[in-house]
Protein backbone atom coordinates (compact mmCIF):
# COMPACT_ATOMS: atom_id res chain seq x y z
CA UNK A 1 0.00 0.00 0.00
CA UNK A 2 1.32 3.46 -0.91
CA UNK A 3 1.96 6.07 1.78
CA UNK A 4 -1.14 8.25 2.23
CA UNK A 5 0.07 11.41 0.46
CA UNK A 6 -3.31 13.02 -0.06
CA UNK A 7 -4.34 13.26 3.57
CA UNK A 8 -5.35 16.66 4.81
CA UNK A 9 -6.09 15.34 8.28
CA UNK A 10 -5.33 18.32 10.53
CA UNK A 11 -5.13 16.39 13.80
CA UNK A 12 -2.07 14.26 13.06
CA UNK A 13 -0.32 14.96 16.39
CA UNK A 14 1.48 13.15 19.19
CA UNK A 15 0.15 9.68 19.97
CA UNK A 16 -0.80 10.38 23.59
CA UNK A 17 -2.72 13.58 22.91
CA UNK A 18 -4.50 12.15 19.89
CA UNK A 19 -5.37 9.08 21.98
CA UNK A 20 -6.91 11.31 24.65
CA UNK A 21 -8.71 13.48 22.09
CA UNK A 22 -10.20 10.48 20.31
CA UNK A 23 -11.25 8.93 23.60
CA UNK A 24 -13.02 12.11 24.72
CA UNK A 25 -14.68 12.42 21.32
CA UNK A 26 -16.02 8.87 21.67
CA UNK A 27 -17.37 9.74 25.10
CA UNK A 28 -19.13 12.76 23.65
CA UNK A 29 -20.56 11.33 20.43
CA UNK A 30 -20.92 7.55 20.83
CA UNK A 31 -24.35 7.49 22.56
CA UNK A 32 -25.94 9.40 19.68
CA UNK A 33 -24.15 7.34 17.06
CA UNK A 34 -24.95 3.93 18.53
CA UNK A 35 -28.63 4.75 18.99
CA UNK A 36 -28.87 5.74 15.32
CA UNK A 37 -27.02 2.65 14.11
CA UNK A 38 -29.15 0.43 16.34
CA UNK A 39 -32.28 1.96 14.79
CA UNK A 40 -31.07 0.70 11.40
CA UNK A 41 -31.29 -2.83 12.74
CA UNK A 42 -27.57 -3.59 12.82
CA UNK A 43 -27.01 -6.86 14.64
CA UNK A 44 -26.10 -10.51 14.32
CA UNK A 45 -25.20 -11.37 10.76
CA UNK A 46 -24.78 -7.75 9.59
CA UNK A 47 -21.65 -6.97 7.59
CA UNK A 48 -20.27 -3.57 8.62
CA UNK A 49 -17.40 -1.37 7.47
CA UNK A 50 -16.22 1.31 9.90
CA UNK A 51 -14.14 3.90 8.02
CA UNK A 52 -11.69 6.13 9.88
CA UNK A 53 -12.22 3.94 12.93
CA UNK A 54 -9.95 6.08 15.12
CA UNK A 55 -9.69 4.42 18.52
CA UNK A 56 -12.26 1.82 17.59
CA UNK A 57 -15.23 2.28 19.94
CA UNK A 58 -17.88 2.10 17.22
CA UNK A 59 -16.26 -0.89 15.50
CA UNK A 60 -16.16 -2.65 18.89
CA UNK A 61 -19.79 -1.76 19.59
CA UNK A 62 -20.87 -3.15 16.21
CA UNK A 63 -18.97 -6.37 16.94
CA UNK A 64 -20.67 -6.60 20.36
CA UNK A 65 -24.00 -6.37 18.53
CA UNK A 66 -23.01 -9.53 16.65
CA UNK A 67 -22.02 -7.90 13.36
CA UNK A 68 -19.05 -8.98 11.24
CA UNK A 69 -16.95 -5.82 11.30
CA UNK A 70 -14.12 -4.48 9.18
CA UNK A 71 -12.30 -1.37 10.44
CA UNK A 72 -10.31 0.83 8.05
CA UNK A 73 -8.02 3.73 8.96
CA UNK A 74 -4.90 5.37 7.58
CA UNK A 75 -3.48 4.95 11.09
CA UNK A 76 -4.22 1.60 12.70
CA UNK A 77 -1.86 2.11 15.65
CA UNK A 78 -4.82 2.35 18.07
CA UNK A 79 -6.86 -0.45 16.58
CA UNK A 80 -4.86 -3.59 17.34
CA UNK A 81 -7.06 -4.37 20.36
CA UNK A 82 -10.08 -4.72 18.06
CA UNK A 83 -8.73 -8.01 16.70
CA UNK A 84 -9.53 -9.48 20.11
CA UNK A 85 -13.17 -8.50 19.46
CA UNK A 86 -13.13 -10.32 16.13
CA UNK A 87 -12.84 -7.12 14.08
CA UNK A 88 -10.83 -7.27 10.86
CA UNK A 89 -8.47 -4.26 10.94
CA UNK A 90 -7.03 -2.74 7.74
CA UNK A 91 -4.70 0.17 7.16
CA UNK A 92 -5.66 2.22 4.12
CA UNK A 93 -6.72 5.55 2.69
CA UNK A 94 -10.40 5.67 1.75
CA UNK A 95 -9.52 8.22 -0.93
CA UNK A 96 -7.35 5.88 -2.95
CA UNK A 97 -6.61 2.43 -1.55
CA UNK A 98 -8.73 -0.61 -2.34
CA UNK A 99 -11.57 -0.88 0.16
CA UNK A 100 -11.26 -4.18 2.06
CA UNK A 101 -14.12 -6.55 1.35
CA UNK A 102 -17.47 -5.45 -0.05
CA UNK A 103 -21.15 -6.20 -0.10
CA UNK A 104 -21.59 -4.48 3.27
CA UNK A 105 -24.96 -3.95 4.93
CA UNK A 106 -23.61 -0.84 6.65
CA UNK A 107 -20.77 1.56 5.94
CA UNK A 108 -20.24 4.19 8.63
CA UNK A 109 -17.78 7.09 8.80
CA UNK A 110 -17.81 9.67 11.62
CA UNK A 111 -15.66 12.80 11.57
CA UNK A 112 -13.80 11.50 8.53
CA UNK A 113 -15.30 12.92 5.32
CA UNK A 114 -14.89 16.47 6.65
CA UNK A 115 -11.12 16.03 6.61
CA UNK A 116 -10.83 14.62 3.08
CA UNK A 117 -9.70 16.54 0.02
CA UNK A 118 -11.98 14.83 -2.53
CA UNK A 119 -15.07 14.11 -0.48
CA UNK A 120 -17.34 13.19 -3.39
CA UNK A 121 -14.97 10.52 -4.68
CA UNK A 122 -14.53 9.07 -1.19
CA UNK A 123 -18.29 8.84 -0.67
CA UNK A 124 -18.72 7.12 -4.05
CA UNK A 125 -16.13 4.55 -2.95
CA UNK A 126 -18.06 4.01 0.29
CA UNK A 127 -21.27 3.46 -1.67
CA UNK A 128 -19.53 1.02 -4.00
CA UNK A 129 -18.67 -1.10 -0.94
CA UNK A 130 -22.37 -1.50 0.00
CA UNK A 131 -24.56 -4.36 -1.02
CA UNK A 132 -27.71 -3.36 -2.89
CA UNK A 133 -30.11 -2.16 -0.20
CA UNK A 134 -27.27 -1.48 2.28
CA UNK A 135 -26.98 1.78 4.24
CA UNK A 136 -24.32 4.47 4.27
CA UNK A 137 -24.18 6.56 7.46
CA UNK A 138 -22.03 9.69 7.37
CA UNK A 139 -21.52 11.84 10.45
CA UNK A 140 -19.77 15.18 10.20
CA UNK A 141 -20.06 18.46 12.01
CA UNK A 142 -21.58 21.82 11.29
CA UNK A 143 -19.89 24.66 13.17
CA UNK A 144 -23.00 26.87 13.46
CA UNK A 145 -23.35 26.25 17.20
CA UNK A 146 -19.76 25.63 18.32
CA UNK A 147 -19.05 27.35 21.65
CA UNK A 148 -22.41 29.13 21.62
CA UNK A 149 -23.41 30.27 25.11
CA UNK A 150 -26.56 31.82 26.49
CA UNK A 151 -24.90 35.19 26.07
CA UNK A 152 -23.37 34.81 22.60
CA UNK A 153 -20.28 32.84 21.61
CA UNK A 154 -17.49 31.90 23.99
CA UNK A 155 -14.37 33.74 22.77
CA UNK A 156 -15.55 34.19 19.15
CA UNK A 157 -12.15 35.41 17.90
CA UNK A 158 -10.49 32.22 19.11
CA UNK A 159 -13.23 30.05 17.70
CA UNK A 160 -13.02 31.78 14.30
CA UNK A 161 -9.22 31.56 14.30
CA UNK A 162 -9.37 27.83 15.01
CA UNK A 163 -11.70 27.24 12.09
CA UNK A 164 -9.59 29.48 9.84
CA UNK A 165 -6.57 27.28 10.52
CA UNK A 166 -8.59 24.13 9.95
CA UNK A 167 -9.90 25.49 6.65
CA UNK A 168 -6.30 25.63 5.40
CA UNK A 169 -6.21 21.85 5.73
CA UNK A 170 -9.36 21.40 3.68
CA UNK A 171 -11.89 21.38 6.51
CA UNK A 172 -15.29 22.80 5.54
CA UNK A 173 -17.31 24.42 8.35
CA UNK A 174 -20.64 23.15 6.99
CA UNK A 175 -19.40 19.70 6.05
CA UNK A 176 -22.21 17.93 7.84
CA UNK A 177 -24.71 19.67 5.59
CA UNK A 178 -22.57 19.04 2.51
CA UNK A 179 -22.76 15.32 3.27
CA UNK A 180 -26.44 15.43 2.35
CA UNK A 181 -25.54 16.54 -1.17
CA UNK A 182 -22.73 14.00 -1.34
CA UNK A 183 -25.15 11.21 -0.44
CA UNK A 184 -27.57 12.31 -3.16
CA UNK A 185 -24.69 12.78 -5.61
CA UNK A 186 -23.51 9.23 -4.99
CA UNK A 187 -26.94 7.93 -6.02
CA UNK A 188 -28.25 6.91 -2.60
CA UNK A 189 -32.00 6.57 -2.10
CA UNK A 190 -34.19 7.70 0.81
CA UNK A 191 -31.55 10.15 2.01
CA UNK A 192 -32.39 11.68 5.38
CA UNK A 193 -30.42 13.83 7.77
CA UNK A 194 -30.66 15.23 11.26
CA UNK A 195 -28.41 17.11 13.64
CA UNK A 196 -27.62 16.87 17.33
CA UNK A 197 -25.71 19.31 19.51
CA UNK A 198 -24.60 18.53 23.05
CA UNK A 199 -24.65 20.91 26.00
CA UNK A 200 -21.13 21.02 27.45
CA UNK A 201 -20.14 22.09 30.95
CA UNK A 202 -16.67 23.47 31.64
CA UNK A 203 -14.21 21.25 33.48
CA UNK A 204 -15.84 17.99 32.31
CA UNK A 205 -14.32 15.32 30.02
CA UNK A 206 -16.55 16.64 27.23
CA UNK A 207 -15.20 20.11 27.86
CA UNK A 208 -11.65 18.79 27.74
CA UNK A 209 -12.29 17.67 24.15
CA UNK A 210 -12.68 21.35 23.25
CA UNK A 211 -9.58 22.31 25.23
CA UNK A 212 -7.46 19.78 23.34
CA UNK A 213 -8.79 21.18 20.07
CA UNK A 214 -7.68 24.73 20.94
CA UNK A 215 -4.41 23.64 22.55
CA UNK A 216 -3.51 21.74 19.39
CA UNK A 217 -4.30 24.67 17.11
CA UNK A 218 -2.86 27.36 19.39
CA UNK A 219 0.61 27.54 17.79
CA UNK A 220 -0.89 27.90 14.32
CA UNK A 221 -3.52 30.45 15.42
CA UNK A 222 -0.97 32.58 17.24
CA UNK A 223 1.76 32.06 14.63
CA UNK A 224 -0.49 33.45 11.90
CA UNK A 225 -1.34 36.46 14.05
CA UNK A 226 -5.03 35.57 14.16
CA UNK A 227 -5.20 35.79 17.97
CA UNK A 228 -2.77 36.25 20.83
CA UNK A 229 -1.61 33.49 23.14
CA UNK A 230 -3.38 35.32 25.97
CA UNK A 231 -6.70 35.13 24.11
CA UNK A 232 -6.33 31.38 23.64
CA UNK A 233 -5.37 30.95 27.29
CA UNK A 234 -8.45 32.90 28.33
CA UNK A 235 -10.63 30.60 26.22
CA UNK A 236 -8.95 27.56 27.78
CA UNK A 237 -9.61 28.97 31.25
CA UNK A 238 -13.30 29.42 30.38
CA UNK A 239 -13.45 25.87 29.06
CA UNK A 240 -12.01 24.59 32.32
CA UNK A 241 -14.52 26.58 34.41
CA UNK A 242 -17.48 24.51 35.73
CA UNK A 243 -19.53 27.69 35.63
CA UNK A 244 -19.28 27.89 31.82
CA UNK A 245 -21.80 26.13 29.58
CA UNK A 246 -21.82 26.03 25.81
CA UNK A 247 -23.10 24.12 22.81
CA UNK A 248 -21.02 21.68 20.82
CA UNK A 249 -20.90 21.59 17.07
CA UNK A 250 -23.96 20.08 15.45
CA UNK A 251 -23.20 16.48 14.57
CA UNK A 252 -25.14 15.82 11.40
CA UNK A 253 -26.05 12.24 10.63
CA UNK A 254 -26.83 11.48 7.01
CA UNK A 255 -28.36 8.11 6.18
CA UNK A 256 -28.94 6.81 2.65
CA UNK A 257 -29.70 3.45 1.11
CA UNK A 258 -28.15 1.93 -1.97
CA UNK A 259 -30.82 1.02 -4.50
CA UNK A 260 -31.81 -2.64 -4.41
CA UNK A 261 -31.40 -2.74 -8.18
CA UNK A 262 -27.78 -1.49 -8.08
CA UNK A 263 -24.77 -3.70 -8.42
CA UNK A 264 -22.43 -4.51 -5.54
CA UNK A 265 -18.77 -3.62 -6.28
C1 LIG B 1 -11.46 12.75 13.94
S2 LIG B 1 -10.92 11.11 13.85
C3 LIG B 1 -12.49 10.27 14.09
C4 LIG B 1 -12.31 8.86 14.60
C5 LIG B 1 -13.62 8.09 14.79
N6 LIG B 1 -14.33 7.96 13.54
C7 LIG B 1 -14.48 8.76 15.83
O8 LIG B 1 -15.45 9.44 15.46
O9 LIG B 1 -14.21 8.58 17.02
C10 LIG B 1 -10.63 10.82 12.12
C11 LIG B 1 -10.10 9.41 11.82
O12 LIG B 1 -10.10 9.23 10.41
C13 LIG B 1 -8.85 8.72 10.01
N14 LIG B 1 -8.63 9.16 8.62
C15 LIG B 1 -8.32 10.41 8.21
N16 LIG B 1 -8.19 10.45 6.87
C17 LIG B 1 -8.45 9.18 6.43
C18 LIG B 1 -8.47 8.57 5.15
N19 LIG B 1 -8.18 9.28 4.05
N20 LIG B 1 -8.75 7.25 5.05
C21 LIG B 1 -9.02 6.52 6.16
N22 LIG B 1 -9.01 7.05 7.42
C23 LIG B 1 -8.73 8.36 7.55
C24 LIG B 1 -7.84 9.27 11.01
O25 LIG B 1 -6.66 8.50 11.07
C26 LIG B 1 -8.66 9.21 12.30
O27 LIG B 1 -8.53 7.96 12.93
Considering only CA atoms, which of 116, 132, 97, 134 is closest in space to residue 182? 116
pLDDT at position 9: 46
| Ligand 1 contact, 142 CB (< 6 A) | no
Task: Name which of 6-20, 81-95, 135-149 the model is least confident about.
Answer: 6-20
CATH homologous superfamily of 15-257 equals Vaccinia Virus protein VP39 (3.40.50.150)
Residue nearest to atom 24 of ligand 1 (CA): 52
Quote the mean pLDDT of the chain.
Answer: 93
For the chain, which residues make up each domain, given as ranges? 15-257
Percent of the chain topping pLDDT 90: 88
pLDDT at position 187: 97
> pTM of the entire structure?
0.92
**Region 43-51: what's the mean pLDDT?**
96
Give the C-alpha distances (Å, rounded to integers) separating 157 from 141, 162, 234.
20, 9, 11
Does 12 score more than 80 pLDDT?
A: no
Does 205 score more than 50 pLDDT?
A: yes
| Ligand 1 contact, 111 CB (< 6 A) | yes
pLDDT at position 17: 84
> Mind listing the pLDDT tens digit for each residue in 168-199?
988 889 999 999 999 999 999 999 999 999 99
> Mind listing the pLDDT tens digit for each residue in 218-230?
999 999 999 999 9
Does 13 score more than 70 pLDDT?
A: no
* SS3 readout for the chain: CCCCCCCCCCCCCCHHHHHHHHHHHHHHHHHHHHHHHHHCCCCCCCEEEEECCCCCHHHHHHHHCCCEEEEEECCCCCCHHHHHHCCEEEECCCCCCCCCCCCEEEEEEECCHHHCCCHHHHHHHHHHCEEEEEEEEEEEEEHHHCCEECCEECCHHHHHHHHHHHHHCCCCCCHHHHHHHHHHHCCCEEEEEEEEEEEEECCCHHHHHHHHHHHHHHHHHHHCCCCCHHHHHHHHHHHCCCCCEEEEEEEEEEEEECCCCCCCC
Does 264 score more than 70 pLDDT?
A: no
pLDDT at position 7: 34
| Ligand 1 contact, 97 CB (< 6 A) | no
Ligand 1 atom closest to the Cα of residue 109 is: 6
| Ligand 1 contact, 139 CB (< 6 A) | no
**Region 80-85: what's the mean pLDDT?**
95
Amino acid sequence: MAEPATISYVFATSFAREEERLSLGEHLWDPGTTSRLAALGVGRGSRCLEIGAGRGSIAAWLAECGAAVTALDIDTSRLGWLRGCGVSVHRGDISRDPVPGGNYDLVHARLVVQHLADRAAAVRRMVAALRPGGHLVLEDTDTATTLATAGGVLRPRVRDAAYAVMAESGYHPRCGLLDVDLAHGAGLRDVRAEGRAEVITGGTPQGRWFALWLEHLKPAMVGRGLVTAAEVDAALADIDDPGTRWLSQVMITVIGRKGADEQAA
